[in-house]
Amino acid sequence: MLISDLCKTDSVNANNVAVQVKVNGASHSHEVEPRTLLVHYLREDVGLTGTNVGCDTSSCGACTVHLNGESVKSCTVLAVQADEMEVTTIEGLANGDEMHPMQTCFMNNHALQCGYCTPGMVMASVSLLDENPNPTEAEVREGLEGNLCRCTGYHNIVKAVLDAAGGQK
């Protein structure tokens, strides 16, 4: 059973709201319950399951997407808050078969093991370099403090982001 169906079973007079969200460049229109979280909207209504739910308590960053170009935790944003806005998910980074430079750098630097944190980690890293194109190693570590990885020990993730920053020069 989908979480959105579960909501429907115990909803009391919920007044659904029409939302129009541009996801990875394509416009989507849906009626949602106001309490629908953006991450559930993306996974279940739009059908893009690349964005993961890790903690569901705003801590781990696995659900990170870009809202109007900035990293946000989509488990802590309502779909109605994204109405008329642009969302980019991990699926929207590659250009056809050509991976985004950050994805390539993650691959080349072995910056993932199980891969669960990776979509959020990559989205947070892209946002970090958008705001600070030439970060120091310390700035990368600080800038990714909202993203937890249980596998890599972060070392290779930091290397990958510095590698991507070098490539942008």
Partner 1 sequence: MIPVAFDYVRADSTESALSALAQHGDEAKLMAGGHSLLPMMKLRLAVPSVVVDIGRLSDLSYVRDGDDHLAIGALTRHRDVEMNSAIAEHAPLLQAATANVGDPQVRHRGTIGGSLAHADASADTPSALLALGGSLVVNGPNGERVIAGEDFFAGFLESVLEPTEMITEVRIPKHTGAGYSFQKFNRRAQDWAIVGVSAQRSDAGAKVALVSMHPTPVRATAVEEALNGGANATEAAELAAEGVSPSSDLNASVEYRQHLARVFTKRALVEAGF
Ligand X SMILES: Cc1cc2nc3c(=O)[nH]c(=O)nc-3n(C[C@H](O)[C@H](O)[C@H](O)COP(=O)(O)OP(=O)(O)OC[C@H]3O[C@@H](n4cnc5c(N)ncnc54)[C@H](O)[C@@H]3O)c2cc1C
Residue tagged 């910056």 (tokens): 111
Q: Are 80 and 63 in contact (CB under 8 A)?
A: no
Give the one entry of ligand FES, ligand X, partner 1, none that residue 55 binds, where binding means its C-beta sits below a cut-off of 5 to 8 angstroms depending on kind.
ligand FES
Distance CA 11, CA 152 (A): 41
Task: Note whether 58 binds ligand X by CB under 6 A.
Answer: yes
Q: Are 21 and 79 in contact (CB under 8 A)?
A: yes
The token pair at 15 is 């007044």
Amino acid at 105: C
Main-chain phi, psi angles of 54, to 5 degrees = -105, -75
Task: Note whether 16 binds ligand FES by CB under 6 A.
Answer: no
| Least CB distance to ligand FES at residue 169 (A) | 27
Q: Report the residue number, 56 or 139, with the smaller CB distance to ligand X.
A: 56
Binding mask 90-119 for ligand FES (x = CB under 6 A): ----------------------xxxxxxx-
Site residues, ligand FES (CB under 6 A): 53-56, 58-63, 73, 75, 112-118, 149-152
